[in-house]
Structures are given as C-alpha cells and as structure tokens.
Chain A
C-alpha cells in the first residue's frame, strides 16, 4: 500500500512539463461508466498526478490486437486470467513493477505482467424467498425441483460464462461433460452476456443466475434487499480476477508506473467495493467494508492458471455445447 504523498511527489516532477500529460486507459464499458469505478478513480488519480486520465471504453482484447504496437493505450484494465494468454503473446505489455506479496488473494500470485486489482468468486446467486432448498453443492443444483430454473451465460460470448465452464471442469475433470448433461434440464436458457442473465434473474424469469459471490452486496447496499444470496458450494469456487497491465509502448511511462502504484494504493482499493461490487485485491478481509466481510464466502478455491485455462478452453466449451445441445 503506497502513500499518495509519495505518488504526488514523484509526479510533481513529471508535472513540471507545461502540457497536461494524458494517461489513456482502455477499460470495459461497465468500468468506465458513470456507475462503475471509473469516475472516482479518475478524480482521485488526477488529484495526485496533475494529469488528465482518459478512459476509452470498448472491447479490450480485440482492440489491442487490432491496434498492435501503435495503440494509444497506456494502461489496459479489465482483462481476466482466462484470456490473458493471448494478450500476453502480443508482447505488448510490460512488467507491472508491483510487489505481488502485497496482494491478498486466495491463491498465490506470481505473474509479473498482469496485476489483479479486484476479484470475486464465480457463484450461483439465487433469490432466497423463492427457493425451497438452498443449494450447497453442485449435486444440489442438479437436484433442484423442476420449477427452479437456472440461467447462465454462453462461454463463447461471455467471460463469466467461460469462467463457469472452466469451474465445472476444475471440479469434475473428465466427468464435466456428464455433469452438464445432468444439469441441462434445470437450465432455463443461456444468454450472451452477464447483464441479460442478471436481468432475467431480477425480473423473476430465472430463480438462479450465474454471477459473482459479491453480487448480493449491491442489493444489500443500494436496495436494502437481503433476499439475494450467493450459493456457497462445497466443492469449491473458481476465482475471477480482474487485471490491470501497463502497455510497453506507452508514451508516458512515468505516469503509467504511477498509475500502477496507484492501483495498489488504499485510495484506489477503497473505491472498488462500492463501485465494482468486488473484493479489493490489495486489501485483506479485515480492511473490507463490513457488508463485504460478512458475505458468505467459499472455503475452498479451485483454479486454472492462465496456461491451463488456455489449453482446456476449447474442449471444455465443446463439452458444454454438446451436452446442452442434446
């Protein structure tokens, strides 16, 4: 956790230049939106750096790959480990320069290029008022009564959908295809993205949705609604890390480094919970806001690293597709 004072002194040197330097950050739409962490982060950082932070929203990976080394981006924020392999192979990203030991994650983080800034567990979220049984294992999900329906996302178009498929793979290994076949009757439908699925859930069409174990925090805080709960499954959960990385070809390396430092700072980390509704990566649970600390959390973590995820992806998705197409 770095001191803002340190950052600002470091940057005052940079700010000695006449023009206001611009830090271009590529981020996903939800991040840069008015209701995401973007605006608060922008304000905080600009205070310290005396620069102009500009978000550019859109599809991260394709843009980076299309633009290559001529990209305007200085920072790319919002990728997750299931897709970083491709990003890494572009060679566009530089070392993040932060101390991985400062991260408080359920697994040990060894990557020097991609830095997690927040995380959550992939989870099934349900409406406690409507469920007659609260699922606590994968088998429970299969055994749900016929009128309890699950909605999930398509792994081919949704990053959270992909995480689900990998999660099932991690838990069931060779038996994953069989599991999908058994779960399939309970699946109401598959959407192309998280927001459509979550919309179906909140509108009552589905009783269970694939989301994050931190999703209920939004309902508790913003809507004072305690009925939405995340199912904690005994087989363990798959963590979803959101990453930030510095672009090697950045034209403002000092600013970029400062931003990376800023990411690990308490200012940045405290913004995360109530804007991105996830656990801050560089804060331990006793520093989290109470509502987050009180959320039910999995006791076991199952995880594929970037390499494994890349290797298993196609076959896992194909198994899923086959099972659900029957």
Chain B
C-alpha cells in the first residue's frame, strides 16, 4: 500500500541533472560499501561470539543492539563525541603524538553506517549460528577436521543462507540514508538521492521529480533484493541457541576471538556511553513535557510492536519479506506525502495522526522482525507440516502448539526490537506530528531547534535507556520462555 503512494506520481520524463546522477552514483556506492563492510565485520564478530562462551554473553549481545535503535542524530552525536575532531579518539591519538584523524568523508559515512547496522547483521548471523546442530560440531571434532574444512562444511552453508538477506536489508537502509551521509560526508559531494528528493519536494515542490528519484531508489533496492534472494538457498534451518560447550579451539583462537569481541564491543558501546555521559547530568532538569512525550512514545510503541509482529507472522514467506524490505527503501518523505495525497480527500490525515504513526512504525519494523523469525517459522513448517497434517491439526492448532513455542526466542527479541524502533522513530512522526501529540524523539528535535541542546542530550539519554530496556527485557523474556 505504501507503494501505491509512489504510483500516484506521474510524468515519465526522466530529466536528471548532473547533480542528480552524481547523487545516485554516490548513494549506491556508499550503500554497497556500507553493507559489505557491515556484513564482513558481522561475520567475524558473530563467529567470535558464537564460539566463545563467557559470562554475560547473552546480555552483551542484547546491549550491542543499541546503536541500531537510536534516532540518527542521537547516535551521530555519540559517535562524534568519540571520533569527532575533538573526540576521545583523536585526543588519544594526540597524546601519543599522532596526527588526528578526520571522520568527515566517505570513511565517516561508512563508520557510522557500520555502527548502526552491525548490530542487526550480528543478530541475524548469531541466530543462524545457533541453528547449527551441536552434533555437527561434535562430529567435526571427532573426525579431527581442520579449521578450514569445518568452516566449509558447517559454517559456510549457514552463512549462505543468511548473509544475502542481511546484506540486502542493510544495503536498502543505507540507500535511503540522508542526514548521516551529508553531515559526515563533509559536503555536497556526499549527496544522496534522499536529499535530492527532499530538495525537489520541499523547495521546488517538483513532485514529479521527487517521485522519479524515489522510484530510482526503490529500483536499486529491488535489484538488491532480487540478487540476494537468488543467491540464498531454499533451505533455511531455523534459529537456535548458541553452543555453550567448549569447541576445542586453541588458546590463540580463543584470544583472537575475545580480542575481536572486545574491540567490537568498545566500538559500539563507546558512543552509547558518550550519549549517557552527555545526558546524565541533565536528566533531572528535564521539563515535564519530555516525560509526557516519553509516555506518548510508549503508548504508541506498544501497539505498534504488537501490530508489527502480527504483520510479520502473516507475511512470513519469501514474497512477504521482499515486499517488506522494499518498503524500507521508500523515503519517509515520499511515504508521508503519498499517504497525505491518498487520504486527504477523505479525512484530514492530521486527525488520525497517532493511528497512522502506529501503523507506519509497525510496517517499517517488519523487515527486521521478519528476517529474525522467518527462519524458525520455515523450519517449523517443514519439520512439522506433515506431522500436524497426520494429526489433523488445524492451522491454528499447529501455530499455537507447535510453532509458537519455538518462536519465543526470536519473538522476544523481535518484539523488543520493534518496540525500540518505534520508540526511537523520528522520520514518521516528523511528518505527521505536532507539539501536542509529541513523542520523545520529536521532543528531542524540538529542544534542538530551540537552542536547548543540553536538555536535548538529557532527553536523548532517556530515550536510549528506554530503548535498551525494551530490548534487554524482551530478549531476556524470550530466552527464558523459549523451548528447545
């Protein structure tokens, strides 16, 4: 349905200026690089996490999801605190007598994109790792297979079944990246299609052009999705639990793995800590409107997350997933306008704002939750499909008794994720929101445009805490009530 909004734009006159072409080229380039880098890093990191069992591993994994759920500007602020000109990292380099590093440029964009998307990639891959039967590992050890063979036989098939979809999702996310690219790109060289759409719409009011650009963006996304799904094999082996028994790796391997985990953890957590550090002192001075906005956010996020899970369950198949990822690529701007145009003749969209926000938040979180629960649903269906039929179980029965219990683990995390994504959403609410029905991210934005950056920092910290709480709690619940 959101795609319908796009279809309302007519004019097949493809008149892109040189600037537009440059924007398209740059957008695709940085998206590909970001996705590739994120996934490559995720493969190493998730491998290390899967192989080494240590106390608090599960909690660490939960917390590492944090960057993904923050509103862009909050996370950027944290990243800059660490990696910016005056950031901790540069100060550290300075004390060592080294030259400072500038984050502005393609490298900065990649850094932040990886920062944002690594959690998702890791999570998807970790679930894949857990799906590998423990017997495979044991057999491999018993047969004294070397590391390379073990990789080829055990890990590679799993990776092939997970990596393409993860890459596609991240590619699409980075494709529609807007403020990040510009701010960290260092200037107009780093223009993305989204910005061009923005300009076409807000300043020139050239709807046709905005629509065409949006279409181009969606086309690239579609191509990415098609490629990745073509690569993935049909068999998907569900999710599982990370092995807790030692896997017989040498001490060097263990050290390397732990080192990698440590580095990743520092890289991802440092900016988060920065956000906390900046915001904590101002937490007590927050005006009441911020707290009520927080309440509004929760009020919107809960039904949104529930809706999201329901939708995911209904769309739990290949086609559904493709559509949902495609929806991700549609810029919120276009989405909002599309909705506006469709609904205006009937009702004023601003009256049913909250409803639409709930709906849109749900839809936008679906690609992620789907990617997380789909494997398990597919596996359950293939495992138990025949069995339930012989037992004459209705579809509902099979769902309730067979599939659902196995879904608790991914559902827990997915629900927490959907909740956190909705809490932190800024795109949708900006289009439709108003000061009276403000959510927390909206309030943060208001504070920032009103010069009150300290309060904004405090509110950002509050938001971060709420998102983390959502994820850790529901992930934990999912883990606790999960059945093998």
Does B75 reach chain A (CB closer than 8 Å)?
Answer: no
Interface CB pairs A-B, < 8 A, 12: A30-B449, A34-B435, A58-B431, A83-B203, A149-B85, A154-B195, A190-B187, A192-B178, A199-B73, A199-B448, A222-B451, A320-B188
C-alpha spacing A38/B435, complex, angstroms: 10
Q: Are A205 and B434 in contact (CB under 8 A)?
A: no
Contact between A198 and B435, CB atoms less than 8 A apart? no
Q: Which of B183, B187, B287 contacts A34 (CB 8 A)?
A: B287
A190 touches B182 (CB 8 A): yes
Contacts of B445 in A (CB 8 A): 29, 195
B205 touches A35 (CB 8 A): no
Which one of B185, B337, B449 lies within 8 Å of A29 (CB-CB)? B449
Q: Which of A36, A86, A184 contacts B450 (CB 8 A)?
A: A36
Give Cα A62 to B431, complex, Å: 11
Within 8 A of A (CB), among B435-484: 435, 445-453, 456
A101 at the interface (CB under 8 A from B): no
Closest to B448 in A: A195
Assess the B434–A66 pair: CB atoms within 8 A.
Answer: no
| Residue in A closest to B179 when the chains form the complex, CB atoms | A192
The answer for the CA separation of A321 and B23 in the assembled complex, in Å, is: 12
Of all A-B residue pairs in the complex, the 5 with the closest CB atoms, nearest first, are A35-B450, A156-B199, A30-B449, A33-B446, A195-B448
| A321-B434 in contact given A188-B104, A190-B186, A192-B183 (Cβ < 8 Å) | no
Return the contact of A56 from the options B85, B188, B196, B434 (Cβ within 8 A): B434
How many of chain A's residues touch chain B, expressed as a range? Answer: 35 or more
A149 to B183 CA separation, bound complex (whole angstroms): 14
Interface string of B67-81 (1 = CB under 8 A from A): 000000100010011
Structural contact, A55 and B434, CB atoms closer than 8 A:
yes
The CA-CA distance from A205 to B196 in the complex, in Å, is: 26
Interface size on B, residues (CB 8 A): 52
Closest Cβ neighbor of A38 among chain B residues: B435
Expressed in whole angstroms, the Cα–Cα distance for A85 and B337 within the complex equals 22
Q: Which of A33, A34, A196, A219 contacts B73 (CB 8 A)?
A: A196
Bound complex: CA of A56 vs CA of B452, how far in Å?
22
> Which positions in B face A, CB cutoff 8 Å?
19, 22, 73, 77, 80-81, 84-86, 104, 178-179, 182-189, 195-196, 198-199, 201-203, 205, 287, 289, 337, 340-341, 344, 348, 350, 430-435, 445-453, 456
Contact status of A156 and B198, CB under 8 A, knowing A66-B337, A188-B186: yes
Query: Which residues in A have their C-beta under 8 angstroms from that of B447?
Result: 35
Pairwise interchain contact A29-B446, C-beta atoms closer than 8 A: yes
Q: Is there an interface contact between B449 and A205, defined as CB atoms closer than 8 Å?
A: no
Q: When the two chains form their complex, are residues B188 and A324 in contact, meaning their CB atoms are under 8 A apart?
A: yes
Q: Given the complex of chains A and B, what is the CA–CA distance between A143 and B448 in angstroms?
A: 31
Neighbouring A residues of B85 by C-beta, 8 Å = 149, 188, 204-206
CA distance A83 to B199 in the complex (A): 13
CB contact under 8 A between A192 and B182, given known A156-B195, A204-B86: yes
Of A58, A59, A192, A324, which is in contact with the most chain B CB atoms at under 10 Å from its CB? A192
Within the complex, the shortest CB–CB distance from A90 to chain B, in Å, comes to 10
In the complex, the answer to whether B81 meets A189 with C-beta atoms within 8 Å is no
State whether the Cβ of A95 lies closer than 8 Å to any Cβ in chain B: no
Cα(A184)–Cα(B195), bound, Å: 20
Within 8 A of B (CB), among A57-74: 57-59, 61-62, 65-67, 72
Cβ-neighbour of A157 out of B84, B199, B289, B452 (below 8 A)? B199
> How far is it, in angstroms, between the C-alpha of A29 and the C-alpha of B435 when the chains are bound?
8
Query: Hey, which chain B residues are within 8 Å of A200, CB to CB?
Result: 80, 183
**Which residues in B have their C-beta under 8 angstroms from that of A195?**
445, 448-449
- What residue in chain B is nearest A196 (Cβ atoms)? B183
The answer on a CB contact under 8 Å between B453 and A202 is yes
Given known contacts A58-B434, A191-B179, A324-B189, is B202 in contact with A33 (CB within 8 Å)?
no
CA distance A149 to B100 in the complex (A): 14
* Chain B residues, Cβ within 8 Å of A205: 80, 84-86
Q: A189-B186, A324-B188 are in contact. Are A62 and B19 (CB under 8 A)?
A: no
Whole-angstrom CA separation of A187 from B105 in the bound complex: 12
Tell me how far the C-beta of B348 lies from the nearest C-beta in chain A, rounded to whole angstroms.
Answer: 7
Beyond the given pairs A36-B450, A154-B188, 5 more chain A to chain B contacts, judged by CB atoms under 8 angstroms and listed by A's residue number, are A38-B435, A65-B205, A156-B196, A193-B179, A222-B452
Also in contact, A32 and B435, with CB within 8 A (given A154-B182, A189-B185, A192-B183): yes
Give the complex CA separation of A282 and B58 in angstroms. Answer: 63
- Contact of A218 with B451 in the complex, beta carbons under 8 Å: yes
- Check B450 against A33 for contact (C-beta < 8 Å): yes
CA distance A36 to B445 in the complex (A): 13
A203 close to B (CB within 8 Å): yes
Residues of chain A with a CB closer than 8 A to B450's CB: 30, 33, 35-36
Chain A residues within 8 Å of B178, by CB: 192
Task: Kindly state whether residue A140 has any CB partner on chain B within 8 Å.
Answer: no
Contact with B along A38-60 (1 / 0, CB 8 A): 10000000000000000111110
Q: Which of A293-326 contact B (CB under 8 A)?
A: 318, 320-321, 324-325
Beta-carbon nearest neighbor of A223 in chain B: B454
The complex places the Cα of A314 from the Cα of B160 at a distance, in Å, of: 48
Q: Across the interface, do B446 and A30 meet the contact criterion of CB distance under 8 Å? A: yes
Confirm or deny: A93 has a beta carbon within 8 angstroms of a beta carbon on chain B. Answer: no
Name B179's contact: one of A38, A196, A222 (CB within 8 Å). Answer: A196
Q: How far, in whole Å, are A30 and B434 apart by their CA atoms in the complex?
A: 10
Contact A203 B453 (CB under 8 A): yes
Do residues B341 and A66 form an inter-chain contact, with CB atoms below 8 A?
yes
Contacting residues, chain B, for A162 (C-beta < 8 A): 203
Instruction: Check A321–B183 contact: CB distance below 8 A.
Output: no
Of B184, B189, B431, most buried by chain A (CB within 10 Å of CB) is B189
Residue interface bits A238-249, CB-to-B below 8 A is 1, else 0: 000000000000
Are the CB atoms of A203 and B202 closer together than 8 Å? no
Tell which of B186, B340, B432, B453 touches A66, judged by Cβ atoms closer than 8 Å: B340
- Measured in the bound complex, the distance between the Cα atoms of B449 and A36 in whole Å is 9
Q: Which residues of the other chain, B, contact A56 by a CB distance below 8 angstroms?
A: 350, 434
Name the CB-closest residue of B to A28.
B449
A87 to chain B, nearest CB (A): 10
- Specify which chain B residues have a CB less than 8 angstroms from the CB of A62 in the assembled complex: 201-202, 205, 337
Residue of B nearest to A313 (CB): B203
In the complex the two chains form, is A189's CB within 8 Å of B73's CB? Answer: no
In the docked arrangement, what's the CA distance between A154 and B191, Å?
A: 10
Chain A residues with CB under 8 Å of B183's CB are: 189-192, 196, 200
Interface residues of A in 7-51 (CB under 8 A from B): 29-30, 32-36, 38
In the bound complex, residues from chain A placing their C-beta under 8 Å from that of B19 are 318, 321
The verdict on A121 contacting chain B, using a C-beta distance below 8 Å, is no
A124 at interface by CB-CB < 8 Å: no
Contact of B81 among A202, A203, A324 (CB under 8 A): A203
Chain A 215-244 interface mask (CB, 8 Å, partner B; 1/0): 100110010000000000000000000000
Contacts of B80 in A (CB 8 A): 200, 203, 205
Q: Which of B187, B205, B431 contacts A324 (CB 8 A)?
A: B187
> CA–CA, A35 to B449, complex, Å?
9
